């Protein structure tokens, strides 16, 4: 307790002086304030998302009209789309960079970076992150990673193009494709910076959550958002270093002539000197990160949707403990399922069987989460704010995409589905769309906390319905291409007789994708317009229980003027019988809500139970009313 008091005093001082010292640079650029860093992550994430979405539209155009030329493509892309037609090499670069940006820069940094930074201190009651300086570095490493990744579009040989998984030898042997030259080097540098950024962020999140919770905020009183960010950070800390190890070995193979991933390779008739390595090694190292990575992407989204669904259903989240345990279960299991990406890559088939078992086990906690969401909606009093719409959309995508995972996690079925459009459809629903919807739900929900203003709800409605419908129109038909044996990353479907029947579907999907992309204009306009012109936000716009809504709307360094509020109860006391309002913030002590207290609330504290019983005896009317 004394440490908290000391800490308060120190930060309070800081807050008082802060106003004098702040300059443009220290406030907006090299800021160490977690709220500003969150905004930086978010805006950078949004810009990267727009770029990656633009890339996807480019390759969707190629897939829909493989034998037409579009002069505007040449205007934008120059020699990579000579005569208005995207070249096969550049097509692969587009899919590679689209995947890399979306997975790492948007759904990892943009999602986890934004909301962990914003919400961890505000929801646990801390003045700032444990290490604000490290936090600032985390953003700037991420920013550099983005710049370097994008710079690869401006070099002669083009960006990396071996797919976002950059399997060697394709990505290592420069002769294998133009993208494996300088573009791949830039990809690796960018990835090292990105991992450094993630680690600095992750260590910060974990230490902040463990050490800096306000008085009364024990682990079981934390909102599910915090649990999700906490477990995501642990997952990142344990798995990202493995990717760096893999990346360093790849740098050695590419630049210093080692043979970690290479052996017995002949390019044409040119015999390479590398011996003794194995390309499978990279796949193990990559997917040891890569699989936890998909949970790094989805868990914060699930945390956000838990909070948003509970607030807007005006109901406690169903099975809070089960939600936490299923997150923990996903965290632990996600480390032992990576092999399901490698069933048919030549890994020992014995391992295939083992990984299939662990993979299908991980479906159980995911199912529990889904059912708990449904139970939360049941008999709720649902307010369809834009955030709530996106959270419901997330649940729908999570179900649709999760169920197809049961096919792919089954090694025998994966034989025929591996690397087909079925996989594309699966992960774009469960990881892409679901996580993006989680992110958007978070943006709509916490925009007032970030910018002190409200976003326009009607544009939010329009944005949701267009995106939700378009996303299903894009990804649902793709399952069937996969079931027909159409492999992914094909530049055109024109060379195979059996694929030609899918060309019309491709045109349809491309139009749906364009519709989805244009719908984002509604969001972008809404977002940037509302930063400056939105309606000023009230203190607690969604009538939510969590701690961040007790902090003043006007941002200040240190979050709360004066003392940090104390927490007395869990964050999900919505519509509690016996209480007049349909929410009770975490900062309201039980002594003020005698009419609604339940025996369960006191966690076996005999003294408190006694007081409650005495009160109930003294106020029999109030009790019968409850």
Of 544, 466, 546, nearest to 512 by C-alpha is: 466
Q: Coil, strand or helix: which one is 553? A: coil
Q: For residue 286, give every residue at least 6 positions away whose Cβ sits within 8 Å of its Cβ, in sequence order, or none.
A: 165, 166, 167, 243, 246
Considering just the CA atoms, what is the radius of gyration of the chain in Å?
A: 26
Q: Which of residues 259-288 bind other proteins (CB under 8 A)?
A: 262-269, 271, 277-280
Number of residues that bind other proteins (CB under 8 A): 125
Bridge partners of 271, per DSSP, are 266
339 lies in the binding site for other proteins (CB under 8 A): no
Bridge partners of 453, per DSSP, are 536
> By CB under 8 A, which span of 121-129, 226-234, 344-352, 552-560 interacts with other proteins?
344-352
Nearer to other proteins, 32 or 97 (CB): 97
395 lies in the binding site for other proteins (CB under 8 A): yes
For residues 149 and 250, what is the distance between their CA atoms, to the nearest angstrom? 17
> By CB under 8 A, which span of 206-214, 295-303, 428-436, 569-577 interacts with other proteins?
569-577
**From the CB of 440, what's the least distance to other proteins, in Å?**
16
> By CB under 8 A, which span of 19-27, 47-55, 160-168, 539-547 interacts with other proteins?
160-168
Residue from the set 2, 25, 67, 71 that interacts with other proteins by CB under 8 A: 71
142 lies in the binding site for other proteins (CB under 8 A): no
For residues 491 and 475, what is the distance between their CA atoms, to the nearest angstrom? 18
**From the CB of 257, what's the least distance to other proteins, in Å?**
17
∠603-551-312 over CA atoms, to 5°? 65
Label each residue of 27-48 as H, E or C.
Answer: HHHCCCCHHHHHHHHHHHHHHH
Q: What is the largest CA-CA distance in the chain?
A: 94
Residue from the set 574, 586, 590, 595 that interacts with other proteins by CB under 8 A: 574
- Note the helical H segments in 212-265: 224-255
622 lies in the binding site for other proteins (CB under 8 A): no
Residue from the set 28, 133, 220, 496 that interacts with other proteins by CB under 8 A: 496
- Is the CA virtual torsion 159, 164, 168, 169 positive or negative? negative
Residue from the set 328, 487, 511, 623 that interacts with other proteins by CB under 8 A: 487
For residues 223 and 228, what is the distance between their CA atoms, to the nearest angstrom? 9
556 lies in the binding site for other proteins (CB under 8 A): no
Of 571, 572, 601, nearest to 616 by C-alpha is: 601
**From the CB of 568, what's the least distance to other proteins, in Å?**
17
**From the CB of 80, what's the least distance to other proteins, in Å?**
12
176 lies in the binding site for other proteins (CB under 8 A): yes
Q: Which of residues 436-475 bind other proteins (CB under 8 A)?
A: 457-459, 461-462, 465, 468-469, 472
Nearer to other proteins, 42 or 516 (CB): 516
Which stretches of 246-294 are assigned E, i.e. beta strand? 266-267, 270-271
Residue from the set 158, 246, 339, 352 that interacts with other proteins by CB under 8 A: 352
Q: Are 391 and 437 in contact (CB under 8 A)?
A: yes
586 φ/ψ angles, rounded to the nearest 5 degrees:
-60, -20
618 lies in the binding site for other proteins (CB under 8 A): no
Q: Which two tokens stand for residue 459?
A: 């544009």
Q: Which of residues 576-605 bind other proteins (CB under 8 A)?
A: 576-577, 582
415 lies in the binding site for other proteins (CB under 8 A): yes
> By CB under 8 A, which span of 300-308, 481-489, 537-545, 553-561 interacts with other proteins?
481-489
501 lies in the binding site for other proteins (CB under 8 A): yes
Nearer to other proteins, 217 or 389 (CB): 389
Q: Are 254 and 185 in contact (CB under 8 A)?
A: yes
Nearer to other proteins, 198 or 372 (CB): 372
Nearer to other proteins, 131 or 165 (CB): 165
Residue from the set 163, 216, 241, 541 that interacts with other proteins by CB under 8 A: 163
- Is the CA virtual torsion 333, 334, 340, 346 positive or negative? negative
511 lies in the binding site for other proteins (CB under 8 A): no
Q: For residue 438, give every residue at least 6 positions away whose Cβ sits within 8 Å of its Cβ, in sequence order, or none.
A: 111, 298, 300, 301, 302, 304, 305, 390, 391, 394
Q: For residue 73, give every residue at least 6 positions away whose Cβ sits within 8 Å of its Cβ, in sequence order, or none.
A: 58, 61, 81, 84, 85, 86
> By CB under 8 A, which span of 1-9, 42-50, 244-252, 483-491 interacts with other proteins?
483-491
Nearer to other proteins, 389 or 443 (CB): 389
**From the CB of 390, what's the least distance to other proteins, in Å?**
12
Q: Which two tokens stand for residue 49?
A: 């998302």
575 lies in the binding site for other proteins (CB under 8 A): yes
Q: 522 to each of 47, 49, 460, 467, 584, how far by Cα in Å?
A: 15, 15, 8, 10, 34
Q: Are 342 and 283 in contact (CB under 8 A)?
A: yes
Nearer to other proteins, 115 or 320 (CB): 320
**From the CB of 140, what's the least distance to other proteins, in Å?**
33
The total of other beta-carbon atoms located within 10 Å of residue 122's CB is 23
For residues 24 and 355, what is the distance between their CA atoms, to the nearest angstrom? 52
Per-residue binder mask for other proteins (CB under 8 A), 295-314, x = binder: ------------------xx
374 lies in the binding site for other proteins (CB under 8 A): yes
**From the CB of 384, what's the least distance to other proteins, in Å?**
4
Nearer to other proteins, 144 or 322 (CB): 322
27 lies in the binding site for other proteins (CB under 8 A): no
Question: What residue has token string 């950070």?
Answer: 233
> By CB under 8 A, which span of 139-147, 443-451, 493-501, 548-556 interacts with other proteins?
493-501
491 lies in the binding site for other proteins (CB under 8 A): yes
371 lies in the binding site for other proteins (CB under 8 A): yes
């Amino acid at each position: 307790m004394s440490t908290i008091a000391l800490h308060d005093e120190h930060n309070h001082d800081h807050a008082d002086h802060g106003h004098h010292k702040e300059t443009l640079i220290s406030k907006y650029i090299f800021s160490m304030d977690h709220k500003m860093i969150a905004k930086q992550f978010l805006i950078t994430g949004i810009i990267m998302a727009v770029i990656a979405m633009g890339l996807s539209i480019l390759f969707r155009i190629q897939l829909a009209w493989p034998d037409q030329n579009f002069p505007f493509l040449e205007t934008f892309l120059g020699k990579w789309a000579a005569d208005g037609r995207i070249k096969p090499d550049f097509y692969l670069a587009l899919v590679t960079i689209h995947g890399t940006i979306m997975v790492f820069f948007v759904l990892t940094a943009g999602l986890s970076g934004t909301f962990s930074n914003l919400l961890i201190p505000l929801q646990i009651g801390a003045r700032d992150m444990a290490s604000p300086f490290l936090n600032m570095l985390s953003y700037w490493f991420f920013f550099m990673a983005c710049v370097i990744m994008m710079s690869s579009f401006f070099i002669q040989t083009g960006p990396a193009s071996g797919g976002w998984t950059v399997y060697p030898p394709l990505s290592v042997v420069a002769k294998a494709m133009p993208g494996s030259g300088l573009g791949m080097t830039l990809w690796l540098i960018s990835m090292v910076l990105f991992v450094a950024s993630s680690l600095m962020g992750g260590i910060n999140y974990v230490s902040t959550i463990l050490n800096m919770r306000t008085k009364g905020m024990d682990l079981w009183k934390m909102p599910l958002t915090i649990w999700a960010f906490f477990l995501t950070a642990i997952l990142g800390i344990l798995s990202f270093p493995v990717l760096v190890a893999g990346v360093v070995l790849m740098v050695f193979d590419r630049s210093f002539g080692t043979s970690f991933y290479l052996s017995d390779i002949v390019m044409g008739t040119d015999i390479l000197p590398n011996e003794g390595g194995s390309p499978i090694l990279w796949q193990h190292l990559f997917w040891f990160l890569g699989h936890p990575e998909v949970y790094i992407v989805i868990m914060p989204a699930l945390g956000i949707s838990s909070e948003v669904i509970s607030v807007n259903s005006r109901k406690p989240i169903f099975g809070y403990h089960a939600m936490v345990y299923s997150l923990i279960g996903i965290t632990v299991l996600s480390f032992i399922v990576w092999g399901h990406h490698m069933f048919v890559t030549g890994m020992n088939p014995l391992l295939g069987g083992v990984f299939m078992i662990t993979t299908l086990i991980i479906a159980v906690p995911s199912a529990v989460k889904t059912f708990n969401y449904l139970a939360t909606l049941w008999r709720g009093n649902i307010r369809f704010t834009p955030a709530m719409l996106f959270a419901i959309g997330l649940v729908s995508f999570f179900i649709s995409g999760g169920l197809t995972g049961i096919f792919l996690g089954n090694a025998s079925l994966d034989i025929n589905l591996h690397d087909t459009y079925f996989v594309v459809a699966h992960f774009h629903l469960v990881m892409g769309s679901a996580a993006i919807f989680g992110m958007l739900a978070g943006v709509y929900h916490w925009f007032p906390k970030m910018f002190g203003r409200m976003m326009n709800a009607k544009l939010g409605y329009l944005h949701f319905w267009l995106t939700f419908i378009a996303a299903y129109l894009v990804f649902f038909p793709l399952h069937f291409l996969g079931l027909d044996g159409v492999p992914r990353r094909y530049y055109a479907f024109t060379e195979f007789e059996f694929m030609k029947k899918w060309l019309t579907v491709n045109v349809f999907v491309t139009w749906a994708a364009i519709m989805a992309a244009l719908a984002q204009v509604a969001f972008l306009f809404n977002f940037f317009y509302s930063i400056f012109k939105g309606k000023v936000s009230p203190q607690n716009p969604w009538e939510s229980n969590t701690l961040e809504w007790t902090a003043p709307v006007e941002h200040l360094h240190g979050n709360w003027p004066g003392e940090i509020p104390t927490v007395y109860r869990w964050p999900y006391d919505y519509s509690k019988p016996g209480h007049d309002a349909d929410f009770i913030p975490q900062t309201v002590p039980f002594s003020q809500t005698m009419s609604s207290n339940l025996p369960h609330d006191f966690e076996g504290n005999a003294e408190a139970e006694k007081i409650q019983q005495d009160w109930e005896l003294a106020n029999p009317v109030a009790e019968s009313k409850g």
